[in-house]
């Protein structure tokens, strides 16, 4: 099936959203029992972590950890936002740099100013968006970024989105109560799909959409660690307690040329493999043998592939043993854990 299709459905009682591109699962969002990324707390400072410059906080959802904070004493309140998914048994990662994101706008209370996505090049369009933003913001002193999805969008829709996002940010930023509380819940999968999957697509909202559009079959494939690269080559994506190991296998062809080809295919396939499985943290690639002169080409291919991915990923580099390491934000729940909990 050609084209883009967004399916909003549930896995049992768990809300989820799927993006199918040309009949293949390209992205999948699923809820979990953990606090949603983007949730804003009024938290209470608990105890500092010596040597790390961080502070453990108390929140309604349990302990949270805030990195690199100074001048905060135990017992003080602070507004923080969930920045990622916590590993089992660890504190919720949070930041004190609040950010309110919607389909067309991002509001940054601590970074005033008006900016437009660099991907919007047309000067007339930028002028149109500036006019809409100035009128909708009404002199608000919060920072405002217009996203790439604004290009060609209806002006009234953009203005309404800006106004709603500014109102939420203003309400939260001006909170002055003292008890710990959830001030704003992070977006669930259906809202995230509306917010971030902005390219034209057919939208399916009827119950049973996952079964009707092949999503369940695609999820079954995600239960396997093996991802085919074509031509007999494959990668194995295997999470452990310490890291995610990715092994590149060339199949029956052990030549250096086959190794180069498989490694390049791995670079293109890896962002999707990690994204769909909800994997993050330290990623270690055990690549197929290839000449050292081809390493730079591989890195360029890997960098280009992750540039198109929406999860922050840092390319760390080569280890003495010839492995390649990445550090990826834990922005999503681990799919295998959610499916196990939902009985899938």
37: pLDDT strictly greater than 60: yes
**Given a cut of 90, is residue 112 above it in pLDDT?**
no
Asked if the model's pLDDT at residue 89 lies above 90, the reply is: no
User: Any bridge partners for residue 38, and if so which?
Assistant: none
Give tens-digit pLDDT for 220-279.
999 899 999 998 999 999 999 899 999 999 999 999 999 999 999 999 999 999 999 999
What percent of the chain is predicted at pLDDT more than 90?
Answer: 84
- pLDDT confidence bin for 18, thresholds 50/70/90: very high
Whether the CB-CB separation of 146 and 105 falls below 8 Å is answered with: yes
How far CA 151 is from CA of 109, 120, 334, 340, in Å, comes to 24, 7, 33, 40
Query: Residue 45 has what pLDDT?
Result: 95
Distance CA 262, CA 302 (A): 13
Instruction: Reply yes or no on whether the pLDDT at 343 is more than 60.
Output: no
Residue linked to tokens 């106004």: 163
Residue-wise pLDDT for 79-88, tens only, equals 999 999 988 7
pTM, to two decimals: 0.90
What does the DSSP assignment read for 217-252? HHHHHHTSSEEEEETTEEEEEEE-SS-EEEEEE-TT
| Average per-residue pLDDT for the chain | 93
For the stretch 159-170, pLDDT in tens is: 999 999 999 999
| CA gap 109, 244 in Å, rounded | 35
Residue-level pLDDT at 263: 97
The pLDDT value recorded for residue 129 is: 96
pLDDT cut 70: percent of the chain above it: 99
Instruction: Please state which CATH number belongs to domain 40-97.
Output: 2.40.50.140
Domains of the chain: which residue ranges?
1-31+188-221, 40-97, 100-176, 223-340
């Amino acid at each position: 099936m050609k084209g883009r299709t967004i399916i909003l459905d549930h896995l049992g009682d768990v809300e989820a959203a799927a993006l199918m591109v040309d009949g293949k699962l390209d992205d999948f969002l699923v809820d979990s029992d953990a606090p949603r990324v983007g949730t804003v707390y009024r938290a209470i400072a608990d105890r500092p972590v010596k040597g790390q410059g961080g502070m453990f906080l108390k929140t309604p959802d349990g302990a949270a950890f805030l990195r690199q904070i100074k001048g905060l004493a135990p017992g003080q309140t602070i507004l923080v936002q969930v920045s990622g998914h916590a590993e089992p048994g660890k504190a919720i990662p949070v930041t004190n740099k609040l950010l309110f994101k919607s389909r067309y706008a991002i509001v940054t209370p601590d970074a005033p100013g008006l900016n437009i996505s660099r991907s919007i090049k047309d000067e007339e369009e930028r002028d149109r968006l500036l006019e809409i933003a100035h009128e909708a913001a009404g002199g608000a002193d919060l920072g405002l970024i217009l996203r790439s999805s604004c290009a060609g969008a209806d002006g009234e829709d953009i203005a309404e989105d800006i106004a709603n996002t500014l109102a939420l940010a203003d309400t939260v930023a001006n909170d002055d109560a003292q008890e710990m509380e959830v001030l704003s819940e992070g977006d669930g999968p259906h809202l995230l799909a509306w917010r971030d999957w902005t390219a034209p697509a057919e939208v399916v909202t009827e119950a049973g959409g996952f079964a009707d559009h092949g999503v369940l079959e695609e999820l079954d494939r995600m239960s396997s660690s093996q991802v085919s690269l074509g031509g007999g080559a494959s990668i194995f994506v295997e999470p452990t307690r310490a890291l995610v190991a990715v092994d590149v296998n060339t199949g029956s062809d052990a030549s250096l040329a086959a190794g180069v080809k498989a490694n390049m295919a791995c670079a293109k396939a890896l962002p999707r493999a990690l994204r769909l499985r909800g994997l993050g943290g330290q990623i270690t690639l055990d690549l197929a043998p290839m000449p050292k002169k081809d390493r730079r080409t591989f890195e360029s291919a890997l960098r280009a592939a992750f540039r198109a991915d929406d999860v922050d990923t840092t390319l760390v580099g080569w280890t003495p043993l010839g492995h390649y390491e990445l550090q990826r934000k834990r922005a999503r729940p681990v799919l295998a854990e959610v499916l196990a909990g939902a009985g899938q």
